[in-house]
């Protein structure tokens, strides 16, 4: 009888997990994305204040990036995805997402915070040269 009493109790952690999963966007709004095509690469900048990439859900992350890159018709082997976050004081934080591809689909994402001053300066320069993303 004790077993049946527990069978009907809700698991708040599980409920919270599903609530968070439902909140994740199915696609990324192109208004929150900019692209810079420099030095033989397509730098895809994603506004981190408006779009939180589901880094803990790899399948969702891969699908979102696949969809976004296809919408913009970017070359998969030349695309670098970068999350950019601008604080209230105007300081910038960049996270580069290195993409690994298999059969034209993202199969791995390695996220690396840009902390080295020269790399940060370079990324900021590229971001400032980016333009709003527009599907072709």
The answer to whether residue 68 is domain-embedded is yes
Q: What is the CATH number of the domain that holds 100?
A: 3.30.70
The backbone torsions φ and ψ at residue 77, rounded to the nearest 5 degrees and listed phi first, read -75, -10
Cβ-contact 96, 123 below 8 angstroms: yes
Instruction: Determine the average pLDDT of the residues in 3-26.
Output: 47
The answer to whether residue 9 is domain-embedded is no
Residue 22 reports pLDDT greater than 50: no
The answer to whether residue 17 is domain-embedded is no
* pLDDT value at residue 50: 85
Residue 11 reports pLDDT greater than 60: no
Domain of 46, in residue numbers: 27-132
The answer to whether residue 98 is domain-embedded is yes
pTM given for the model: 0.76
The answer to whether residue 92 is domain-embedded is yes
Q: Which one is predicted more confidently, 41 or 113?
A: 113
* pLDDT value at residue 135: 62
The answer to whether residue 15 is domain-embedded is no
The three state secondary structure string of 3-52 is HHHHHCCCCHHHHHHHHHHHHCCCCCCHHHEEEEEECCEEEEEEECCCCC
In the chain, the number of structural domains is 1
Burial class of 46 by CB neighbour count within 10 A (0 to 12, 13 to 18, 19+): buried
Confidence of residue 7 (pLDDT cuts 50, 70, 90): very low
The answer to whether residue 82 is domain-embedded is yes
Instruction: Determine the average pLDDT of the residues in 17-36.
Output: 68
* pLDDT value at residue 51: 87
Confidence of residue 19 (pLDDT cuts 50, 70, 90): very low
List, for residues 32-83, the tens digit of each pLDDT value.
Answer: 899 998 888 899 999 988 888 888 899 999 999 999 999 999 988 889 999 9
């Amino acid at each position: 009888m004790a077993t049946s009493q527990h069978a009907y109790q809700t698991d708040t952690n599980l409920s919270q997990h599903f609530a968070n999963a439902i909140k994740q966007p199915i696609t990324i709004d192109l208004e929150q994305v900019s692209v810079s095509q420099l030095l033989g690469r397509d730098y895809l900048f994603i506004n981190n204040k408006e779009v939180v990439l589901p880094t803990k859900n790899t399948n969702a992350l891969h699908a979102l990036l696949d969809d976004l890159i296809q919408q913009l018709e970017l070359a998969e082997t030349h695309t670098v995805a970068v999350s950019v976050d601008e604080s209230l004081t105007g300081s910038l934080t960049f996270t580069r997402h290195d993409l690994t591809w298999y059969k034209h689909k993202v199969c791995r994402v390695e996220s690396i915070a840009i902390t080295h001053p020269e790399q940060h300066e370079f990324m900021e320069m590229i971001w400032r040269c980016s333009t709003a993303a527009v599907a072709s």
